[in-house]
């Protein structure tokens, strides 16, 4: 990649580990400033400390508007600009058939996976991007393009995030590009039930022969934020080693 990120600033939600941390690290390694969030300041700051200079940790539950606003204002005070927002924080409290869920799990899932991206994008727009431009990348999922027996509500939230990406791309053009990535099974804590006990099975249904690593997703996110992607908006790009091609939904161990 020819782009330089020196002097440019990214905010990555849910970056204390996993895909978010890999995105933050990859951006930072190429010279960018980065703000990493997590639910607690301790976790966010610990992750930022592993990157060093030009990295700031900030505690903000992704649905907390006051913390979101404070995070983005702090980003502007510290680094002077917000070039990239990565809506990465996500959760899945709702395993099992959709008809067996309750409102508590539904509300938490939709709040974190959908309202979070709406909230952070709206604030980034108002505070900086409306006047100065920028890019937003949402972390959706292969599941947003497929159905499977036990991850239904999570997949509904990611399908909605893919649609939200298209909607926001229309609303925020021409100054702000909004895209999404749709990872398959990636080696992180959130997805442990999908791979930890059966990595060989995951590899077997993956045409490219291996589980995803957080860096596989991070490289795509950073590409979508780069000038090389300057005519791409509203798009969702699969990064799944071909898992969707096999048509076999990846299910939690024991399902
Ligand atoms: N791994 C996969 O196979 C896979 C596949 C498709 C899509 N995804 C998506 O990728 C994204 C990242 O997931 P991951 O796999 O990297 O999971 P992970 O390793 O469990 O990391 C999740 C991150 O989100 C943070 N977080 C969780 N809830 C939060 C909240 N309410 N507010 C703020 N931060 C929160 C966590 O930090 P704290 O716990 O410190 O707060 C952590 O940094 C999610 O949107 C997920 O749906 C993952």
- What distance in Å separates the CA atoms of residue 37 and residue 14, rounded to the nearest whole number? 5
How many angstroms is it from 88 CA to the middle of ligand 1?
Answer: 7
Banded model confidence at residue 251, pLDDT cuts 50, 70, 90: low
Task: Report whether pLDDT(237) > 90.
Answer: yes
pLDDT of residue 121: 99
Q: How many Cβ atoms sit within 10 Å of the Cβ of residue 130?
A: 13
| CATH hierarchy code of domain 9-184+214-239 | 3.40.50.720
What is the distance, to the nearest Å, from the Cα of residue 48 to the centroid of all Cα atoms in its chain?
17
- Ligand 1, residues 37, 90, 119, 241: which to mutate, most atoms within 8 A of Cβ? 90
Task: Report whether pLDDT(66) > 60.
Answer: yes
Contact indicator for 50, 244 with CB cutoff of 8 Å: no
What are the residues facing 181 on neighbouring strands? 139, 237
pLDDT of residue 250: 64
Task: Read off the pLDDT of residues 176-207 as tens digits, 9 standing for 90 and up.
Answer: 999 999 999 999 999 888 888 899 999 999 99
What are the residues facing 178 on neighbouring strands? 136
- The residue nearest atom 37 of ligand 1, judged by CA position, is 38
103 lines ligand 1 (CB under 6 A): no
Per-chain mean pLDDT for the chain: 95
Percent residues over pLDDT 90 in the chain: 90
Q: How many Cβ atoms sit within 10 Å of the Cβ of residue 12?
A: 32
Q: Taking the complete model, does pTM exceed 0.95, yes or no?
A: yes
pLDDT of residue 253: 45
Banded model confidence at residue 255, pLDDT cuts 50, 70, 90: very low
pLDDT of residue 202: 92
pLDDT of residue 249: 55
38 lines ligand 1 (CB under 6 A): yes
How many angstroms is it from 103 CA to the middle of ligand 1?
Answer: 21
| Residue 154 is among the residues annotated as catalytic for this protein | yes
Name the active-site residue from 154, 172, 185, 238: 154
Percent residues over pLDDT 70 in the chain: 96
**Among 206, 189, 210, 209, residue whose Cα is nearest residue 250:** 206
Q: What CA–CA distances, in Å, run from 107 to 22, 62, 117, 213, 252?
A: 28, 14, 15, 29, 22
Three-state secondary structure of 96-125 = CCHHHCCHHHHHHHHHHHHHHHHHHHHHHH
Omega of the bond prior to 174 within 30 degrees of 0, cis?
Answer: yes
pLDDT of residue 174: 98
Q: Give me the residue spans of the domains in the chain.
A: 9-184+214-239
- What distance in Å separates the CA atoms of residue 28 and residue 97, rounded to the nearest whole number? 40
If you ran DSSP here, which 8-state letter would residue 242 be given?
T
Task: Read off the pLDDT of residues 170-184 as tens digits, 9 standing for 90 and up.
Answer: 999 999 999 999 999
Mean pLDDT in residue range 35-47: 98
Contact indicator for 225, 179 with CB cutoff of 8 Å: no
Query: Parallel, antiparallel, or unpaired: how do β-strands 134-139 and 84-87 relate?
Result: parallel
Task: Report whether pLDDT(254) > 80.
Answer: no
């Amino acid at each position: 990649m020819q782009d330089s990120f020196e002097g440019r600033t990214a905010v990555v939600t849910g970056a204390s580990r996993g895909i978010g941390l890999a995105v933050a690290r990859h951006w930072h390694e190429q010279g960018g400033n980065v703000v990493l969030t997590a639910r607690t300041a301790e976790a966010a700051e610990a992750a930022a400390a592993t990157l060093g200079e030009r990295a700031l940790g900030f505690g903000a539950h992704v649905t907390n508007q006051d913390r979101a606003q404070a995070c983005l204002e702090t980003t502007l005070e510290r680094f002077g600009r917000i070039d990239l927002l990565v809506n990465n924080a996500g959760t899945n409290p709702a395993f099992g058939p959709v008809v067996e869920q309750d409102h508590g799990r539904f509300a938490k899932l939709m709040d974190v996976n959908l309202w979070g991206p709406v909230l952070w994008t709206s604030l980034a727009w108002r505070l900086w991007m409306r006047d100065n431009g920028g890019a937003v990348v949402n972390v959706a999922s292969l599941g947003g393009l497929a159905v499977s027996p036990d991850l239904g509500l999570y997949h509904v939230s990611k399908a909605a995030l893919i649609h939200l990406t298209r909607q926001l791309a229309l609303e925020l053009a021409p100054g702000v590009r909004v895209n999404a990535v749709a990872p398959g099974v990636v080696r992180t804590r959130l997805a442990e039930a999908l791979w930890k006990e059966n990595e060989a099975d995951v590899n077997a249904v993956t045409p490219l022969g291996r589980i995803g690593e957080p860096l596989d997703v991070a490289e795509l996110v950073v590409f979508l934020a780069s000038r090389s992607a300057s005519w791409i908006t509203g798009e969702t790009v699969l990064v799944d080693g071909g898992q969707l091609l096999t048509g076999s939904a990846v299910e939690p161990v024991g399902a």
